[in-house]
Amino acid sequence: MELIETIVIFSGSFFGLVGFGLTLITMVVSLFKIDEADEYYGVGRLGGERLCLKGLPFSQGRMAEYGMVILFSNTRYVQKRYARELAQIAVNDPPRRLERLLVWLYATWFLCGVMFLLLGGLLMLFPETL
């Protein structure tokens, strides 16, 4: 059991550190790229009144949502829920560099945070040994 706990601890620490490092990078990048991302991806449900909020947590969260929608755009759930938005995004023809930035930086940042929290929750399920 100690081996499994050690693996969970080290993997959770890895995802936590990578997620924290990416947080610092995404905070800086989101301040400069949010206008361009909103121009191409802020349509339909992904846009609206939320586009007025340009502060750091709002822009960072919105760009992570754009990245997750792009990353999972081939799944049935996203195609059903965001079908109209995906069609409008395809018409806008966003730059490939922006698409790669959203997927590789923001979706990875979000997924590392989720993995960190899941592994931390899993660690609480193990019985405490002294």
Lowest mean pLDDT among 4-13, 51-60, 96-105: 51-60
d(CA 62, CA 70): 12
Judged against a pLDDT cut of 70, whether residue 72 lies above it is answered with: yes
Task: Give residue 51's pLDDT.
Answer: 75
The alpha-carbon radius of gyration of the chain (Å, integer) is: 17
Say if residues 63 and 37 touch (Cβ distance below 8 Å): yes
Contact 29, 60 (CB under 8 A): no
Q: Between vectors from CA 31 to CA 65 and to CA 86, what angle results, nearest 5°? A: 30
Are the CB atoms for 19 and 38 separated by under 8 Å? no
pLDDT, tens digit (0-9, with 9 covering 90-100), for 21-42: 999 999 999 989 988 998 898 8
70: buried, middle or exposed (CB in 10 Å: 19+, 13-18, 0-12)? buried
pLDDT digits (tens, 9 = 90+) for 86-125: 999 889 889 999 999 999 999 999 999 999 999 999 988 8
Question: What is the per-residue pLDDT for 129?
Answer: 62
pLDDT band at 44 (very low <50, low <70, confident <90, very high): confident
Is the Cβ–Cβ distance between 107 and 68 less than 8 Å? yes
| Domain layout of the chain by residue ranges | 2-125
Q: Given 3-state DSSP classes, what are the helix, strand and coil percentages for the chain, each rounded to the nearest 5?
A: 85, 0, 15
